[in-house]
Chains A and B, each alone.
Chain A
């Protein structure tokens, strides 16, 4: 059974058209993370939440926002996607920050 679920698996949007990616977890983990991964690169952390406490990485563009309305769900909003935002977006959870992270299947975002 999938424990970290991301929707949609594939998202195509137009340049500048807002898009929202979703993530849900059944693990009851405290920490949720959003990563951006481009081909042959390491996942790049965008945000994390510890419960409702939010942390924005210093180099995350302002174009990216996140919401965690409850412990099970987390959203990534890209307000005005540019061509450089085409990537795989990965949601992950961990019980505590020092423990292994469990990833969803990812959402592959394409920009037209």
Chain B
């Protein structure tokens, strides 16, 4: 089992749709969680950190479920510019940060 698993997609959604991604992690001692966005042939960029209480940034909402060991990302009112790969990132302690392989999202007009 991979330490961080994501559905690779692609998710194909129309503009204005709501889309959600999940990411599961295997290490129950994992401490910090992040979502990054990566455009084709570009570097990953931090989208948001994920807190136990859940957090929202505009159209984006992140949730953490420690009991079931997953994090989620919800995107409301999808825009064409949201098309990208979304990477789930989990910090497990020491210097170990694990990246998921990403979920690809295509938003179509």
Contacts and interface: CB of A to CB of B under 8 A. Distances in A.
Interface of A: 31, 40-43, 45, 48, 50, 55, 88, 90, 97-106, 108
B43 A97 contact: no
The secondary structure that dominates the A interface is loop
B78 to A, nearest CB: 22
B104 to A, nearest CB: 9
B99 A43 contact: yes
A69 B29 CA distance: 34
Interface of B: 4, 8, 31-32, 34, 41-46, 49, 87, 89, 91, 94-95, 97, 99-102
Given A97-B95, A102-B46, A106-B43, 17 more contacts: A31-B95, A41-B101, A42-B4, A42-B87, A42-B100, A42-B101, A43-B44, A43-B99, A48-B95, A97-B97, A98-B91, A100-B34, A100-B49, A101-B46, A101-B97, A103-B43, A106-B42
